[in-house]
Chains A and B, each alone.
Chain A
Amino acid sequence: MTGDTWDLVVSSIGPLLSGAIRGTIPLTLISFAIGLVLALVVALARLSRNRLVSGAARVYISLIRGTPLLVQLFIIFYALPSLGLVIDPFPSAVVAFSLNVGGYAAETIRAAILSVPRGQWEAAATIGLDHRLTLQRVVLPQALRVAVPPLSNTFISLVKDTSLASTIMVTELLRKAQEIAAPTYEFMTLYSLAAVIYWLICLVLSTGQSRLERRLDRFVAH
């Protein structure tokens, strides 16, 4: 590592972090939050006794899981304008990532709900709780504990997937690295540095997982 390369690393950290703080991190948090709410709705739809509702949810999940995220991004950003729907880069990315998380996390949540023993529903019925209250107070809290590890996986994947937004004019961490690399021709250095920062973001963002798991242990019937 020559002195010049070292200087470049030092001078690049600031701009790269700004790309992370303005792009990567908000993209991840906003998309994950929206995606999670969407996933809960879709999971409940999937479990619905109404054929139409569960069918629609099934098609949505299949579509999201069966097509590449990059293609989904391109369709939202480049193809929708031909239908008269022009969404700015950042919101386009949020829409794509939220829909994506919604599809994947829906299956996680559905499986978690199904993992709660049947007896819990019956017990809730005996004390006179209706369907909604049973779900809200008895089943979902227990399901949540089961869902945390796989959801954390989805979350960590999303942090790295946001790099795809660099292809639709969103200036996030990867795009910043490319901007700095272009005039200096130091792609190797910048990509490595970006990788380290992605890793750090993932480390920081995933510290909450085990604490959350311990907190949620309270809801699990032992």
Chain B
Amino acid sequence: MLRTSHRLLVLPVVLAVGALAACSSGDEAPQGAAGSEAGVLRVGTEGTYSPFSFHDADGELTGYDVEVVTAVADELGLDVEFSETTWDSIFAGLEAERYDVIANQVTVNDERAGKYDLSEPYTVSTGVALVAADNDAVTSLADVSGLTAAQSATSNWSQVATDAGATVESVEGLTQAVALLKQGRIDVTFNDDLAVLDYLKQSGDTSVKIAFETGDTVEQAFALRKGSDLTVRIDEALASLRADGTLTQISEKWFGDDVTQ
């Protein structure tokens, strides 16, 4: 009796130790290691935003932003270490010092520039509105007023939709917004033309179409904590990568086009 009840109390401990042993043998990429190490550039990125930051067929993290920030780290003589997190928590992670820079098509705007350090832009794109293929009623921003849009909560596109007078539903990202569009639950979603073109190309989806371009060019940059000593160094690295053609080369590879200026 005594032995049995002891054994029952020992069981959870044995389980825990076993499970710990089982998972400590994992060789996963380091996940948001605490504390900054010298010689490492710690980067926060989504890992689910194609073609900027996503996992290829072999499960390797890749994409335009991933390659640009890796080139920047090389230029600075630093190893790069990625932490992957959802977009809506990406700034929380930066503030919590889970990583030092965000490489995830962060659009430059005044609000962000006030709160964070932004590098020189490395992408220039435009916004597009995506609607169902049979929707001919939406041809400009003026038509968006009173419609329902879906955007990820903290993205600049959410602001664009709100400013246009749409009711904005929060979703995880472009793919989820497109699904809602196809299901007729929303009328429109705004996003970066590069992301939308990639989606249309990769998925062969003909049930949605680009209704119009928002007309504003948007610039994307790396985001760092306010007053980070890395900002200046990253800008210098970007400048030399621009000068020697590396940036253009990476852009050509992903978009068949120079989207860096």
Q: Name A residues whose Cβ lies closer than 8 Å to a Cβ of B.
A: 11, 15, 21-22, 25-26, 29-30, 32-34, 36-37, 40, 74, 77-79, 81-82, 86-90, 136-137, 140-141, 144, 166-171, 175, 178-185, 187-188, 219
With A30-B20, A86-B34 as contacts: A22 and B2 at CB distance below 8 Å: no
Q: Does B93 contact A (CB under 8 A)?
A: yes
Whether the pair A141, B32 counts as a contact (CB closer than 8 A) is no
Contact, CB under 8 Å: A185 / B199: yes
A179 to B, closest residue via Cβ: B55
**Pairwise interchain contact A185-B175, C-beta atoms closer than 8 A:** yes
- Judge whether A81 and B96 touch: CB under 8 Å: yes
Q: CA separation between A75 and B16, bound complex, in Å?
A: 24
| Across-interface contacts of B55 in A (CB, < 8 A) | 179-180, 182-183
B192 within 8 A of A: no
Q: Is B127 an interface residue (CB 8 A)?
A: no
**A82-B96, A169-B84, A183-B55 in contact; A137/B2 too (CB < 8 A)?**
yes
Q: How many residues of B contact A (CB 8 A)?
A: 52
Chain B contacts of A22 at CB under 8 A? Answer: 23, 26, 28
Residue of A nearest to B89 (CB): A167
Identify which of A89, A169, A181 contacts B175 (C-beta below 8 A): A181
Cross-interface CB contact of A187 among B1, B18, B179, B205, cutoff 8 Å: B179
Report yes or no: A168 in contact with B1, Cβ–Cβ below 8 A: no
Nearest chain-A residue to B29 (Cβ)? A171
Residues on B facing A (Cβ under 8 Å): 1-2, 4-5, 8-9, 12-13, 15-16, 18-20, 22-23, 26, 28, 31-35, 47-51, 54-57, 59, 83-86, 89, 92-93, 95-98, 173, 175-176, 178-179, 199, 202-203, 205
| Contact yes or no, A169 B2, CB < 8 A | no
Query: What 3 pairs between A and B have smallest CB-CB spacing?
Result: A182-B48, A33-B12, A26-B23
Please state if B202 and A183 are interface contacts (CB–CB under 8 Å): yes
* Docked CA distance A166–B47 (Å): 12
* B12–A32 touching, CB < 8 Å: yes
Residues of A within 8 A of B98 (CB): 81, 86, 169
Pairwise interchain contact B13-A179, C-beta atoms closer than 8 A: no
For the complex, give the distance between the alpha carbons of A41 and B49 in Å: 45
Chain B neighbourhood of A90, CB < 8 A: 23, 31
- CA of A81 to CA of B199 in the docked complex: distance in angstroms? 36
Say which residue of A21, A29, A169, A187 sits within 8 Å of B93 (CB atoms).
A169
> What are 30 A-to-B residue pairs whose CB atoms are below 8 Å?
A15-B59, A21-B22, A26-B22, A33-B19, A34-B12, A36-B12, A40-B9, A78-B92, A78-B96, A81-B96, A81-B98, A82-B95, A88-B34, A90-B23, A136-B2, A137-B1, A141-B5, A167-B85, A167-B86, A168-B85, A169-B83, A175-B84, A179-B54, A182-B47, A182-B49, A182-B173, A183-B202, A185-B202, A185-B205, A187-B175
How far, in whole Å, are A77 and B86 apart by their CA atoms in the complex?
Answer: 14
Partner of A81, one of B13, B18, B97: B97
A141 touches B1 (CB 8 A): yes
Contacts of A36 in B (CB 8 A): 12
Specify which chain A residues have a CB less than 8 angstroms from the CB of B9 in the assembled complex.
40
Contacts of B5 on A, CB cut-off 8 Å? 136-137, 140-141
**A184 lies within 8 A of B16 (CB):** no
A26 to B95 Cα, complex, angstroms: 29
A168 to B92, CA, bound (A): 10
Query: Across the two chains, which residue of chain B brings its CB closest to A26?
Result: B23
Q: Which residues of B contact A182 (CB under 8 A)?
A: 47-50, 54-55, 173, 175
- Contact status A87-B13, CB under 8 Å: no
Given contacts A11-B57, A170-B31, 12 further A-B contacts (CB under 8 A): A22-B26, A26-B22, A30-B19, A40-B9, A78-B93, A81-B98, A82-B95, A88-B32, A169-B85, A169-B98, A171-B31, A183-B54
Contact B56 A183 (CB under 8 A): yes
* Assembled-state Cα–Cα distance A91/B65 (Å): 29
Q: Which of A82, A169, A185 contacts B203 (CB 8 A)?
A: A185
Point out the residues of chain B lying under 8 angstroms from A78, CB to CB.
89, 92-93, 95-96
With A33-B12, A140-B5: A179-B47 Cβ-Cβ less than 8 Å: yes
A175 to B47, CA, bound (A): 10
Using known A-B contacts A33-B13, A78-B92, A187-B176, determine if residue A86 contacts B35 with beta carbons closer than 8 Å. yes
Expressed in whole angstroms, the minimum distance between the Cβ of A196 and any Cβ of chain B is 20
